[in-house]
Amino acid sequence: MTDIDDKLQQIKDNNLFRTPKYLSKGQEKHTNVDGRDVLLMSTNNYLGLSSDENVKQAAIKAIEKYGLGSGGSRLTSGSYDVHKKLEEKLAKFKGYEACLVFNTGYMANLGVISTIASDEGYYIFSDQLNHASIIDGCRLSKAKTIIYKHNDMQDLEEKIKENKPSKGMIVSDSVFSMEGDIANIPQIVELGKKYNLLTLVDDAHATGVIGKTGHGSCEYFSTKPDIIIGTLSKAIASEGGFACSSREIIDFLLNKARSFIYSTALTPAVICGSIESLDVIENNSEIVEKLADNIAYTCTKLKEIGFEISRETAIIPIPIGQEDIAVLYSQRLFEEGVFIPAIRYPTVAKGESILRLTLMATHDYEDIDKFIDILSRIKRELSESI
């Protein structure tokens, strides 16, 4: 009746079939996955705040005060005093006039891009490796989307000149979600000014990670694109997405962005958790420094066992290549008590599978040494058997 079984078989034949693994403890470095105690080295909870005592208490208190569900969309009965407080806090944290909180980072990109680029004749210039939510935002827009080579500013400028857009925007991740590298935001901002294009930067993996005190790409580069997108689900360790920009743009989005308007508001519990998380980051910049130190230490150690990787972000992709070998690595690591999933097509290109290692501020050198020992053993084992 359908060809779904054929399509499913094809996924399996290509070593691309996926199944979730289930955690029965929190998103902490020592957790339990599918019944096995493991060292977690694949969370976006970079600062370990998901189980921070103050963050948890803030959410619990909010449930006691407000109950669980928010009960309505933001423009009907679902906006609470704490939504406003979080938006003011985020605007200040990022250095912008105003902010709008969405239910997820995915919905923020979808809503912002499709709402701003809603006219025929609009152009979007989008980095080749941008996150899926940016790609889907472009697809939902009425714009013509032009893809430029990854972080290649010359290619970007050539493509702008070729197309001569009268209106448009440049869109980029700041920290790329699979590569862990950082976009050339100052140049993007400059090209935006030069060609009169809006600039939108997605700080999902930058917030809490880069910049001296973890404020993300604006702090890291001392620069300011027109719109910053972010998520509250990674280093902020809660849930939600947001856009920071001018009051005018935020008012426009609040009135027009469908992914904002037609979905029930986030519950006050996660909003209060996010507010507390931001406070923890503001008051404890040493956790941001500890994360940076772990990143440097891990890159040095990886180099010693033959993986040439240098990164300034918490995402450290270990290149493996073939899909089946990446899965084998991940399985062997899991058997040895380390949880790092293999990332395969379509998240990355075919034949360019990676182990997506991510670090936390709560990891210590002992954890990293243990992981490196195990990885190096598996590397030897696999290179002998292949």
Ligand X SMILES: *Cc1c(COP(=O)(O)O)cnc(C)c1O
Q: Which residues bind ligand X (CB under 6 A)?
A: 104-106, 109, 131, 133, 173, 177, 202, 204-205, 231, 233, 241
Distance between CA 124 and CA 27 in Å, rounded? 36
Distance between CA 76 and CA 320 in Å, rounded? 49
Shortest approach of ligand X to residue 183 CB, angstroms? Answer: 11
Instruction: Indicate the residue among 43 and 231 with the shorter CB distance to ligand X.
Output: 231
Q: Report which of 150, 154, 156 is spatially closest to residue 178, judged by C-alpha positions.
A: 150
Distance between CA 5 and CA 83 in Å, rounded? 45
177 is catalytic: yes
Report the DSSP beta bridge partners of residue 264.
73
Question: Which of the residues 94, 131, 159, 205 is marked catalytic?
Answer: 205
Instruction: Indicate the residue among 104 and 151 with the shorter CB distance to ligand X.
Output: 104
How many other C-beta atoms are found inside a 10 Å radius of the C-beta of residue 10?
12
Q: Report which of 107, 120, 41, 27 is spatially closest to residue 74, judged by C-alpha positions.
A: 107
Distances in Å between the Cα of 371 and the Cα atoms of 221, 226, 299, 377 are 32, 41, 12, 10
Question: Which of the residues 42, 114, 141, 177 is marked catalytic?
Answer: 177
Shortest approach of ligand X to residue 200 CB, angstroms? Answer: 11
Shortest approach of ligand X to residue 271 CB, angstroms? Answer: 14
Query: Omega before 346 cis (within 30°)?
Result: yes
Instruction: Indicate the residue among 41 and 266 with the shorter CB distance to ligand X.
Output: 266
Strands 198-202 and 315-321 come out as unpaired
Instruction: Indicate the residue among 127 and 276 with the shorter CB distance to ligand X.
Output: 127
Strands 122-127 and 167-173 come out as parallel
Closest CB to ligand X: residue number? 105
Helical residues (DSSP H) of 284-364, grouped into ranges: 285-304, 323-335
Shortest approach of ligand X to residue 103 CB, angstroms? Answer: 8
Question: Which of the residues 83, 131, 159, 234 is marked catalytic?
Answer: 234
Shortest approach of ligand X to residue 139 CB, angstroms? Answer: 15
Q: Report which of 200, 193, 195 is spatially closest to residue 163, judged by C-alpha positions.
A: 195
234 is catalytic: yes
77 is catalytic: no
Instruction: Indicate the residue among 141 and 233 with the shorter CB distance to ligand X.
Output: 233
Q: Give me the active site residues, please.
A: 177, 205, 234
